[in-house]
Amino acid sequence: MSDRGIKGRRKNILQEFFKTNKSMAVLLPVLVVAVIALVIFYSSSDSKPVSGKQNDLTQADISGQAVEILPQMERIKKPDTESDTGKRDPFISGGYSLTLKGITLHDEKSTAIIETENRAYVVSAGDIIEDNWTIQRIDTTSVLLKTKEGNELILDYK
Protein backbone atom coordinates (compact mmCIF):
# COMPACT_ATOMS: atom_id res chain seq x y z
CA MET A 1 0.00 0.00 0.00
CA SER A 2 1.07 3.52 -0.56
CA ASP A 3 1.56 6.25 2.03
CA ARG A 4 -1.51 8.09 0.73
CA GLY A 5 -3.75 5.15 1.53
CA ILE A 6 -2.52 4.93 5.15
CA LYS A 7 -2.82 8.70 5.64
CA GLY A 8 -6.27 8.67 4.13
CA ARG A 9 -7.44 5.93 6.47
CA ARG A 10 -6.00 7.76 9.49
CA LYS A 11 -7.76 10.93 8.44
CA ASN A 12 -11.04 9.06 8.02
CA ILE A 13 -10.67 7.41 11.43
CA LEU A 14 -10.04 10.79 13.11
CA GLN A 15 -12.95 12.37 11.28
CA GLU A 16 -15.24 9.54 12.34
CA PHE A 17 -14.03 9.82 15.96
CA PHE A 18 -14.74 13.57 16.10
CA LYS A 19 -18.13 13.12 14.40
CA THR A 20 -19.22 10.57 17.01
CA ASN A 21 -17.63 12.49 19.93
CA LYS A 22 -18.44 16.12 19.14
CA SER A 23 -17.60 17.30 22.65
CA MET A 24 -14.04 16.02 22.23
CA ALA A 25 -13.60 18.27 19.20
CA VAL A 26 -14.03 21.26 21.53
CA LEU A 27 -12.47 19.93 24.75
CA LEU A 28 -9.24 18.62 23.25
CA PRO A 29 -8.01 22.02 21.93
CA VAL A 30 -9.11 23.71 25.17
CA LEU A 31 -7.13 21.15 27.19
CA VAL A 32 -4.02 21.68 25.05
CA VAL A 33 -4.24 25.46 25.49
CA ALA A 34 -4.74 25.10 29.26
CA VAL A 35 -1.68 22.84 29.61
CA ILE A 36 0.46 25.28 27.60
CA ALA A 37 -0.78 28.19 29.73
CA LEU A 38 0.08 26.34 32.98
CA VAL A 39 3.56 25.46 31.74
CA ILE A 40 4.22 29.10 30.80
CA PHE A 41 2.80 30.38 34.10
CA TYR A 42 4.89 28.08 36.32
CA SER A 43 8.08 28.41 34.29
CA SER A 44 8.03 32.22 34.35
CA SER A 45 6.94 32.55 37.98
CA ASP A 46 9.43 34.43 40.19
CA SER A 47 8.68 32.39 43.28
CA LYS A 48 10.86 29.39 43.97
CA PRO A 49 9.74 26.19 45.65
CA VAL A 50 9.87 26.19 49.45
CA SER A 51 12.29 23.27 49.52
CA GLY A 52 14.83 25.19 47.42
CA LYS A 53 14.59 28.40 49.45
CA GLN A 54 16.99 28.96 52.32
CA ASN A 55 15.69 30.58 55.49
CA ASP A 56 17.53 33.80 56.23
CA LEU A 57 16.94 34.96 59.79
CA THR A 58 18.62 38.32 59.16
CA GLN A 59 15.87 39.27 56.72
CA ALA A 60 13.01 37.63 58.62
CA ASP A 61 10.45 39.85 60.26
CA ILE A 62 10.54 38.59 63.85
CA SER A 63 9.78 41.97 65.47
CA GLY A 64 10.48 41.38 69.13
CA GLN A 65 10.00 37.62 69.20
CA ALA A 66 12.58 35.47 70.96
CA VAL A 67 14.16 32.95 68.61
CA GLU A 68 16.34 30.02 69.75
CA ILE A 69 18.79 28.59 67.26
CA LEU A 70 19.49 24.89 67.78
CA PRO A 71 21.72 23.25 68.80
CA GLN A 72 22.33 25.54 71.73
CA MET A 73 24.67 24.03 74.32
CA GLU A 74 23.34 25.83 77.39
CA ARG A 75 19.74 26.78 78.13
CA ILE A 76 18.34 28.57 81.13
CA LYS A 77 15.40 26.68 82.57
CA LYS A 78 12.32 28.53 83.70
CA PRO A 79 12.15 28.31 87.50
CA ASP A 80 9.43 26.14 88.97
CA THR A 81 7.32 28.02 91.47
CA GLU A 82 7.10 24.98 93.77
CA SER A 83 10.77 23.93 93.78
CA ASP A 84 12.34 27.38 93.53
CA THR A 85 12.93 27.90 97.24
CA GLY A 86 16.48 29.19 96.95
CA LYS A 87 17.88 26.39 99.14
CA ARG A 88 20.63 24.06 98.00
CA ASP A 89 21.50 20.59 99.19
CA PRO A 90 24.84 20.97 101.07
CA PHE A 91 25.80 17.36 100.34
CA ILE A 92 25.80 17.74 96.56
CA SER A 93 29.27 18.06 95.05
CA GLY A 94 30.15 21.66 94.26
CA GLY A 95 26.73 22.89 95.34
CA TYR A 96 25.23 21.83 92.01
CA SER A 97 22.65 19.16 91.45
CA LEU A 98 23.52 17.43 88.17
CA THR A 99 20.90 15.16 86.58
CA LEU A 100 21.23 13.09 83.43
CA LYS A 101 18.10 13.58 81.33
CA GLY A 102 19.00 11.99 77.99
CA ILE A 103 21.67 10.42 75.78
CA THR A 104 21.97 10.12 72.01
CA LEU A 105 24.67 7.80 70.74
CA HIS A 106 26.28 8.21 67.34
CA ASP A 107 29.52 6.93 65.84
CA GLU A 108 30.92 10.40 65.23
CA LYS A 109 29.49 12.45 68.09
CA SER A 110 27.40 11.28 71.03
CA THR A 111 25.52 13.86 73.09
CA ALA A 112 23.92 13.99 76.51
CA ILE A 113 21.40 16.29 78.16
CA ILE A 114 22.42 17.28 81.68
CA GLU A 115 20.36 19.53 83.92
CA THR A 116 21.32 21.55 86.97
CA GLU A 117 18.89 23.45 89.16
CA ASN A 118 18.39 26.26 86.67
CA ARG A 119 20.17 25.25 83.46
CA ALA A 120 20.08 22.48 80.90
CA TYR A 121 23.13 21.51 78.83
CA VAL A 122 23.40 19.58 75.56
CA VAL A 123 26.99 18.32 75.68
CA SER A 124 29.43 15.94 74.04
CA ALA A 125 32.82 14.59 75.10
CA GLY A 126 35.27 17.42 75.88
CA ASP A 127 32.65 20.06 76.70
CA ILE A 128 32.81 21.96 79.99
CA ILE A 129 29.74 22.77 82.08
CA GLU A 130 29.37 24.98 85.17
CA ASP A 131 33.04 26.07 84.68
CA ASN A 132 34.16 22.99 86.59
CA TRP A 133 32.93 19.74 84.99
CA THR A 134 34.47 18.32 81.81
CA ILE A 135 32.57 15.61 79.95
CA GLN A 136 35.00 12.69 79.67
CA ARG A 137 32.85 9.91 78.21
CA ILE A 138 29.23 9.28 77.18
CA ASP A 139 28.05 5.66 77.43
CA THR A 140 24.70 4.04 76.73
CA THR A 141 23.35 4.66 80.25
CA SER A 142 25.80 7.02 81.92
CA VAL A 143 28.09 10.02 81.53
CA LEU A 144 31.52 10.38 83.14
CA LEU A 145 32.43 13.91 84.30
CA LYS A 146 35.72 15.11 85.74
CA THR A 147 36.58 18.27 87.69
CA LYS A 148 39.68 20.40 87.28
CA GLU A 149 41.00 18.88 90.52
CA GLY A 150 40.66 15.37 89.10
CA ASN A 151 37.50 14.26 90.91
CA GLU A 152 35.24 12.03 88.83
CA LEU A 153 31.45 11.76 88.84
CA ILE A 154 29.31 9.26 86.98
CA LEU A 155 25.77 10.38 86.15
CA ASP A 156 23.25 7.59 85.63
CA TYR A 157 19.58 7.67 84.71
CA LYS A 158 17.38 7.96 87.80
Q: Domain check: are 147 and 107 in the same one?
A: yes
Least confident segment among 115-119, 120-124, 139-143: 115-119
Predicted local confidence at residue 135, as pLDDT: 93
User: What percentage of residues in the chain have a pLDDT greater than 90?
Assistant: 18
What's 101's domain CATH number? 2.30.30.830
pLDDT band at 26 (very low <50, low <70, confident <90, very high): confident
* Most confident by average pLDDT, 5-9, 65-69, 128-132: 128-132
d(CA 100, CA 112): 7
Could you give the 3-state DSSP secondary structure of residue 88?
A: coil
Q: Domain check: are 133 and 85 in the same one?
A: yes
Ramachandran sector of residue 118 (left: φ over 0; alpha: ψ -120 to 50; beta: rest):
alpha
Residue 57 within a domain: no
Q: Count up the domains in the chain and report the number.
A: 2
| Domain limit, last residue, from 47, 65, 83 | 47
Cα 68 to its chain centre, rounded Å, is 14
Q: Domain check: are 134 and 86 in the same one?
A: yes
More confident residue, 80 or 140: 140
* Most confident by average pLDDT, 59-73, 91-105, 117-131, 133-147: 133-147
Predicted local confidence at residue 12, as pLDDT: 84
pLDDT band at 95 (very low <50, low <70, confident <90, very high): low
Q: Domain check: are 81 and 152 in the same one?
A: yes
pLDDT band at 53 (very low <50, low <70, confident <90, very high): very low
Q: Domain check: are 150 and 80 in the same one?
A: yes
Predicted local confidence at residue 145, as pLDDT: 93
Residue 147 within a domain: yes
Q: Domain check: are 152 and 85 in the same one?
A: yes
Q: Domain check: are 81 and 18 in the same one?
A: no
Contact partners, residue 140, CB within 8 Å, separation at least 6:
103, 105
Q: Domain check: are 78 and 137 in the same one?
A: yes
Q: Domain check: are 29 and 101 in the same one?
A: no
Q: Domain check: are 80 and 143 in the same one?
A: yes
Residue 119 within a domain: yes
For residue 19, the enclosing domain spans: 3-47
